[in-house]
Amino acid sequence: MSAHAESEHAVAHQHAADEVTTHHGSFKDYLTGFALAVALTAIPFWIVMDNAFRVPATAVVVILIFAFVQIVVHMVYFLHMNSKSEGGWTLMALLFTGVMLIIMLSGSLWVMQHLDSNMMPMSPAQMRNMP
């Protein structure tokens, strides 16, 4: 094999290796993700400890929003998920998982609500006579 052919072969292998490897983030990316994760943990902690909202339901909604944002921060900065990694398959798997969770949770809640509304009501006297 000539020197020219060997160098072309080495370049082809390098291009193939570049396509397989993924970006693992820089030190700055990790520090940014860490700072966001700390802030997204500290703020809900403060909300709970300081009773920042008079209505508990509002606090729950705000904390759930912070939790969702923190999940996204972890996936982007620490798991390096984006539309380009693994040819887009990691993002597709994540979307599929999300759709399946929504279907399972909404279906379970729907079934439980209908079971609750369609059960025969029993008085306390009838409950005492149950076997």
pLDDT one digit per residue (tens) for the chain, 131 residues: 566 656 665 555 555 445 545 567 799 999 999 999 999 999 999 999 999 999 999 999 999 999 999 999 998 899 888 878 788 888 888 899 999 999 999 999 999 999 888 887 778 887 788 77
Question: What is the secondary structure of 31-61 as a DSSP string?
Answer: HHHHHHHHHHHHHHHHHHHHT--SSHHHHHH
Q: Is the pTM of this model over 0.75?
A: no
CA atoms in the 13 A half-sphere facing the CB of 115: 6
